[in-house]
Amino acid sequence: MNIRQAMLLPHKQVRRLNPFAFGRDNDSHPLRSESNKNISYNSSNDPLVQKESLEIVSNVEASPWRIPPSCVWNESSEEIPRGWNQLLTYYVQDPASVMVAENLQVQPGEKVLDLCAAPGGKSLVLAQALFSSPNPLSELILNEPSPDRRERLKKVVQQYLSTDVRPQVWVRGKDGMKWGLEVKNHFDAILVDAPCSGEGHLIQNEKELKVWKIQRTQSLAQKQYALLCSAWMSLKPEGRLMYSTCALSPLENDGVIEKFLNKKSGVRLGQIPYRLEKVETTKYGQIYLPDQCGFGPMYLCLLIKSP
C-alpha cells in the first residue's frame, strides 16, 4: 500500500485517560489503580508515573511502545463518560500526537508554553504531566490566535482539567510569531505544533487538492520558521523545544529545522526518548507515516537551548 492509499483510509486513534476525572484523593484515581470500569490502564508503562530521572535522555535503549501510555485503542464512537466533577474521562486523538507531547518530558514546577495549542489534545498531555503533583510554580500557557479555535480550546480546558489546576493555566490569543519579542527567556519547555499543509485533510478534499501549489508549502515553511524563532526567544537557557507538524513535506519538517540550525547558535538536537513501533528516523527528528503504522502523519524534532 502506498502512502496516498493509506491516507485515504480511516486512521487508528487512541483514548487517552484523563486522570483529573477521578480526583486526586480518590482510590479509583488511575495513578493509583491498575484499571477502572471504563479503561484499562497499566501505570507501570507510564513515564508520568515512573520517571526516576527527568533529564533529557542521551542514549535510548528502551524498546518502542506498541501504544502510548495511559491509552487504549479507540474502537467505538460511544459518548465519552464523565467522572469526578463531571470531567470527561478520556480524549480521543492520534497516537503520534500523544508522543509529541510526551517527548517534551514536562515535569511539575516548570513553566510551559504550547504556542499553537488548539484543538488541545497535546495541551492535555502537557497538563497531565505538569500537574501530576501539586506545585505552585507550575505554569501552562496555551496560545491560539484564531478566536474560533481558541473557544474550542477553552472548552477542552473546562471539560478535562480540574478546578484546582485551572488557576495555573492561561489561554492566550497572541500572534505566535511575535511572542518571543514580548516574553524572553521565560519557559522551561515549549511545544510548537506548527500550522502546516496537513496533507491528511488535503488529500480528502478534491477541490482544495486541485488548486494546491508548491508555493503553499513554501509559504507555510516560512511561517513555521518564524514561529520556531519566536518560541526560541522565549525559551530559557537549557530549555527544551519540541517542533512538530502533521505535514509530509520535508520543506515543512527537516527543512525548517535545517534552516534554523544553520542560522542560530547555541542549538543542539535533543534525543527523543519515547517512541512507538514503526516510527521512521529523519535527518533531524522522527516521523510517523500512515502507510507504516496506520496513523499520522506526524513529524517531531526536539531542540535544546545551550546555557
Write out the catalytic residue numbers: 246
Q: Which of 59, 91, 116 has its CA nearest to residue 244?
A: 116
- Torsion on CA atoms 47, 277, 189, 94, rounded to nearest 10: -100
55 class by beta-carbon count within 10 Å (0-12 exposed, 13-18 middle, 19+ buried): exposed
Task: Return the closest-CA partner of residue 6 out of 207, 292, 201.
Answer: 292
Closest CA to 240 of 215, 214, 261, 269: 269
Distance CA 127, CA 296 (A): 22
The DSSP call for residue 151 is: H
Cα 125 from Cα 94, distance rounded (Å): 12
- Give the integer Cα–Cα distance in Å for 166 and 151: 16
Q: What does DSSP say about strands 111-114 and 139-143: parallel, antiparallel, or unpaired?
A: parallel
Residue in the structure block whose three cell numbers are 513553566:
111
